[in-house]
């Protein structure tokens, strides 16, 4: 089966099919427009999305009266960074920016993919942080940049 459109998201659907199959993806797979995958029931799918579409946790790839196929994003190994002062936040953001490390923000926390060197840096800077496995709302995106 080739999927070319996302039907909706389970968070906003009014009707659901009684049988659900899940496709478990790593967060970085959410940005791939063309890919092959298998459901937890062993059914193979191909995805070919338009340039403007990306996958999200809970997206419904297929649905009829009896069945639906839903994306479930696996948890990422992340560092949750919780600076306590504006200076700590600035120092941390500067250090991570110099490494072109993508970050996400939830409330007062900065979330980055786990890296032992970053963890050592945070310890050296005295910045409160913790290592967690958590679903991130979107994939981490590396932004290409050149120093001239």
Q: 21: pLDDT confidence band, cut at 50, 70 and 90?
A: very high
Domain identity same for 121 and 101: yes
Residue 142 lies in a domain: no
Distance between CA atoms of 9 and 73, rounded to whole angstroms? 13
Q: Which of 36, 125, 47 is nearest to 79 (CA)?
A: 125
pLDDT at 104 over 80: yes
**How many of the other CB atoms lie within 10 Å of CB of 18?**
8
Domain identity same for 18 and 69: yes
pLDDT at 148 over 60: no
Residue 141 lies in a domain: no
Instruction: Supply the DSSP symbol for 65.
Output: S
Domain identity same for 53 and 101: no
Question: In sequence order, which residues have a C-beta less than 8 Å from that of residue 79 and are 6 or more positions away?
Answer: 111, 112, 113, 114, 115, 118, 119, 122, 129, 130, 131, 132
Domain identity same for 80 and 63: no
pLDDT at 62 over 70: yes
Domain identity same for 69 and 14: yes
Residue 12 structural domain: 2-73
Domain identity same for 81 and 47: no
Could you tell me which residues are beta bridge partners of residue 81?
A: 110, 129
Domain identity same for 38 and 51: yes
Specify the DSSP element, H or E, that contains 123: helix 116-125
pLDDT in tens, 106-139: 998 999 999 999 999 999 999 999 999 998 877 8
What is the number of domains present in the chain? Answer: 2
Question: In sequence order, which residues have a C-beta less than 8 Å from that of residue 71 and are 6 or more positions away?
Answer: 22, 23, 25, 30, 55, 56, 57, 58, 59, 60, 61
- Which two three-digit tokens encode residue 26? 């790593």
What is the pTM for the complete model shown?
Answer: 0.75
Q: 17: pLDDT confidence band, cut at 50, 70 and 90?
A: confident
Q: 143: pLDDT confidence band, cut at 50, 70 and 90?
A: low
pLDDT in tens, 22-55: 999 998 898 888 999 999 999 999 999 888 888 9
CATH number of the structural domain spanning residue 10 = 2.60.260.20
pLDDT averaged over every residue in the chain = 89
CATH number of the structural domain spanning residue 96 = 3.30.70.790
């Amino acid at each position: 089966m080739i999927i070319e459109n996302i039907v909706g998201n389970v968070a906003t659907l009014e009707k659901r099919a009684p049988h659900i199959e899940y496709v478990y993806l790593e967060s970085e797979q959410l940005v791939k427009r063309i890919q092959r995958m298998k459901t937890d029931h062993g059914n193979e799918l191909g995805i070919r999305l338009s340039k403007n579409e990306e996958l999200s946790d809970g997206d419904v790839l297929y649905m009829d009266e009896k069945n639906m196929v839903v994306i479930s994003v696996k948890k990422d190994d992340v560092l949750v960074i919780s600076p306590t002062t504006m200076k700590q936040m600035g120092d941390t953001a500067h250090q991570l920016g110099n490494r072109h490390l993508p970050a996400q923000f939830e409330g007062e926390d900065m979330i980055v993919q786990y890296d032992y060197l970053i963890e050592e840096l945070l310890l050296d800077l005295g910045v409160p942080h913790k290592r967690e496995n958590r679903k991130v709302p979107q994939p981490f995106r590396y932004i290409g940049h050149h120093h001239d």
